[in-house]
């Protein structure tokens, strides 16, 4: 493929930070964690809050997350973004920020997220319920939840069941994805779950929404993270090696899973194709994958839709451990949402780890020679897909 897109490598991620703990809990309020992440990511980049003229955030108790955060920081940004697409919000915001910087609408943008569902649940002040939206005036609350749809795992169970029916995918194949995640988390001292597991361990874990078992499902933890973007020109003079934004793409297909056009195909088919086209690269050029793993079936669908294996062949593809340490397609090298952390939305952590892999900063879990990383967020119930391709070189 030949890259001709004018937005290719015009911008870069130059600073990253994340906060997690093996206990699954963090001290501090959501706002204090956001500020901490912004400061750490800016320090990582060699910048200060005075350099920031763009803010992206999607979580706030009020009506305008990015505005309220900017006010708290004491800055008057030229550009803000409060886009909320669930777990893919941060990949979408990176796409928007990269376009804004390339267009001269901002120079330094911070994208940030923090949530404390585990701590809040223990305090009795929140957490995530299994029947979200029962009383809310939403389409899902009216048309899906009353019929026993356990959310969110019920929606993913529908996709897994359909994939099994159409293509012969097995629970054992899905379980291997969880096993591979632990080969990475076992090397990560900050991961929530570090003990190695087997396929039999996954199959023996309690059923949550058939065919998905407990170890097919992501964690519920506290967590926070941030990334800093600027122009490629400015990035060359900063503290850390830049991770150039080579390509991006976004596609949304539905809100309710009952309206998903095809339970076995996601919008990643479109978002991935757009990102590859902009980058001038293909799946074979990607050295390390950071894929949203809300559930094991999410990973399998994304591998197919992003072109790493043909549609319907995800089961046999993952069965040989290709995603784990030493595999041909190393993925989710922190341990992912299945084993590292998952504070409701995991997309920011995909970006942070992708950048660290390209910098060679990951120690025992480092993928040798990683030059191209793909971070892909999935929001809602397989609803909103966003792909970001990063590289160590602006041209290739």
Domain ranges of the chain: 11-122+217-391
DSSP 152: T
The answer to whether 227 and 18 have CB atoms below 8 angstroms apart is no
Q: How many C-beta neighbours within 10 Å does residue 284 have?
A: 7
Look at residues 75, 50, 395, 356 and name the one whose alpha carbon lies nearest to residue 232: 395
Quick one: average pLDDT of 325-347? 97
CATH class for the domain made up of 11-122+217-391: alpha beta
- Strand order in 108-115's β-sheet? 79-81, 54-56, 108-115, 223-231, 11-19, 243-252, 384-391, 372-379, 288-291
Q: Which residue has the higher pLDDT, 374 or 396?
A: 374
The answer to whether 80 and 56 have CB atoms below 8 angstroms apart is yes
Distance between CA atoms of residues 245 and 232, nearest Å:
9
- State the catalytic residue, choosing from 156, 244, 276, 340: 340
pLDDT at 133 over 70: no
How confident is the model at residue 76, as a pLDDT? 96
Q: Tell me, yes or no, if 292 is annotated catalytic.
A: yes
Q: Which residue has the higher pLDDT, 66 or 148?
A: 66
- pTM (two decimals): 0.95
Which contacts (CB < 8 Å, 24+ apart) does range 122-127 have? 122/25, 127/220
| pLDDT level of residue 266 (50, 70, 90 thresholds) | very high
Per residue in 230-249, pLDDT (tens digit) is: 999 999 999 999 999 999 99
Look at residues 345, 348, 343 and name the one whose alpha carbon lies nearest to residue 221: 343
Phi, psi of 254 (to 5 degrees): -170, 170
pLDDT > 70: what percent of the chain? 94
- State the catalytic residue, choosing from 156, 244, 276, 292: 292
Which region among 8-17, 96-105, 145-154, 288-297 has the lowest average model confidence (pLDDT)?
145-154
Q: Where are the beta strands (DSSP E) in the chain?
A: 11-19, 54-56, 79-81, 108-115, 207-209, 212-213, 223-231, 243-252, 288-291, 372-379, 384-391
Per residue in 48-62, pLDDT (tens digit) is: 999 999 999 998 767
pLDDT > 90: what percent of the chain? 87
């Amino acid at each position: 493929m030949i890259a001709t897109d004018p937005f290719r490598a015009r911008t870069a991620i130059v600073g990253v930070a994340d906060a997690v703990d093996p206990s699954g809990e963090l001290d501090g309020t959501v706002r204090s964690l956001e500020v901490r992440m912004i400061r750490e990511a800016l320090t990582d980049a060699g910048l200060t809050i005075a350099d920031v003229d763009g803010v992206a955030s999607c979580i706030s108790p009020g009506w305008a997350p990015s505005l309220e955060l900017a006010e708290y920081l004491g800055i008057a940004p030229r550009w803000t973004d409060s886009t909320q697409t669930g777990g893919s919000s941060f990949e979408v915001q990176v796409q928007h920020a990269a376009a804004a910087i390339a267009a001269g609408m901002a120079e330094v943008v911070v994208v940030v997220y923090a949530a404390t569902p585990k701590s809040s649940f223990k305090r009795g002040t929140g957490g995530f319920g299994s029947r979200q939206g029962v009383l809310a005036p939403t389409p899902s609350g009216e048309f899906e939840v009353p019929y026993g749809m356990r959310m969110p795992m019920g929606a993913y169970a529908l996709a897994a069941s359909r994939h099994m029916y159409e293509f012969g995918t097995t629970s054992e194949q899905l379980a291997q994805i969880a096993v591979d995640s632990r080969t990475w988390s076992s090397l990560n001292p900050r991961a929530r779950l570090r003990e190695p597991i087997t396929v039999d361990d996954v199959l023996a874990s309690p059923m949550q929404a058939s065919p998905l078992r407990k170890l097919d499902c992501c964690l519920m933890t506290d967590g926070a993270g941030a990334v800093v973007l600027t122009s490629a020109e400015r990035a060359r003079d900063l503290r850390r090696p830049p991770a150039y934004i080579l390509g991006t793409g976004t596609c949304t297909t539905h809100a309710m899973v009952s309206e998903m056009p095809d339970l076995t195909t996601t919008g990643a088919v479109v978002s991935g194709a757009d990102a590859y086209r902009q980058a001038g690269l293909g799946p074979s050029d990607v050295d390390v994958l950071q894929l949203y793993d809300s559930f094991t079936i999410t990973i399998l669908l994304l591998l197919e839709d992003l072109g790493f294996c043909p549609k319907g062949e995800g089961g046999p593809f993952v069965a040989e451990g290709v995603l784990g340490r030493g595999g041909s397609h190393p993925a989710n090298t922190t341990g992912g949402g299945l084993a590292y952390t998952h504070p409701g939305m995991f997309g920011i952590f995909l970006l942070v780890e992708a950048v660290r892999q390209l910098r060679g900063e990951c120690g025992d879990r480092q993928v040798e020679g990683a030059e191209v990383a793909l971070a892909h967020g999935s929001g809602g119930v397989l609803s909103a897909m966003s792909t970001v391709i990063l590289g160590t070189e602006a041209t290739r």
